[in-house]
Amino acid sequence: MNKFALAALLFLSAGCLAPARVATSPGVDFSRVKTIAVLDPDREELRGITDEFVRQLMAKGFTLRVGSEGTPAPDALLQVNVARLVPDKKYLIPIRSKDGQDVLVLNPVTEISGRSLYPSATTAGVQDAQVVVSNATLSLSVRLMDPVSRNVWWTGSMTYEGLDLDAAVEGSVTALLKRFPTP
């Protein structure tokens, strides 16, 4: 495989992201942060995003728990806010050939459900159809806070676009945690 093809493959398999914007409060001793309590999201359907933070922070060696209650008190609180969530979608678009040239037929465009698409001679039973896929977009903002005063020690935000929602969640959390304060 030549270098151009490899570069194109890496570009196509990666999501698009805006750089993570972070700020850290001066004078905070992050070396004492061992246990982080992740605050529940505003809506239950956003739990997968907070769970991804839990998974990746556990992999970094932190002790995680859900909610700020309990003993002993956590060393820090993590609050995750979703500013924008646009799931990926797939559309079936019929294309008809007229005198050897493809003609796009705008109606009917049908949204397709399911996670995977497989190549076939006919797409979803429609001859000469194409599938158009829109990427998922996720904008997050995150705060690491003092558990008593609720002063913000670290904050980060970013927008990530992935081929599907799982890729957007994992990519955005990974990019934010690359800039997470570690002792």
DSSP 5-28: HHHHHHHHHSPEEPPPEEEE-TT-
pLDDT of residue 11: 45
Q: What is the value of pTM for the model shown? A: 0.73
pLDDT of residue 105: 64
| Total of domains in the chain | 2
pLDDT of residue 85: 86
* Residue 106: domain span: 89-134
H or E element in which residue 59 lies: helix 47-59
Q: pLDDT 10s digit of each residue in the chain, 183 long?
A: 455 544 444 444 445 556 778 999 999 999 999 999 999 888 888 899 999 999 999 999 999 998 878 778 899 999 999 999 888 887 767 666 666 666 666 666 666 666 555 555 555 555 566 666 778 899 999 999 999 999 999 999 999 988 888 999 999 999 999 999 876
Amino acid at 88: D
pLDDT of residue 156: 95
Half-sphere exposure of 169 (CA within 13 A, CB side): 21
Give domain status of residue 10, yes or no: no
Closest alpha carbon to 146 in 27, 4, 49: 27
CATH code: domain of residue 143:
3.30.160.670
Separation CA 51–CA 138 (nearest Å): 15
Q: Which residues of 5-36 are buried (b: 16+ CB within 10 A; e: fewer)?
A: eeeeeeeeeebebeebebebeeebeeeebeeb
- Residue 24 shares a structural domain with residue 69: yes
- Residue 79 shares a structural domain with residue 143: yes
- Residue 123 shares a structural domain with residue 67: no
Look up residue 81 and give its two tokens.
Answer: 């806010």
- Residue 126 shares a structural domain with residue 70: no
Separation CA 17–CA 143 (nearest Å): 20
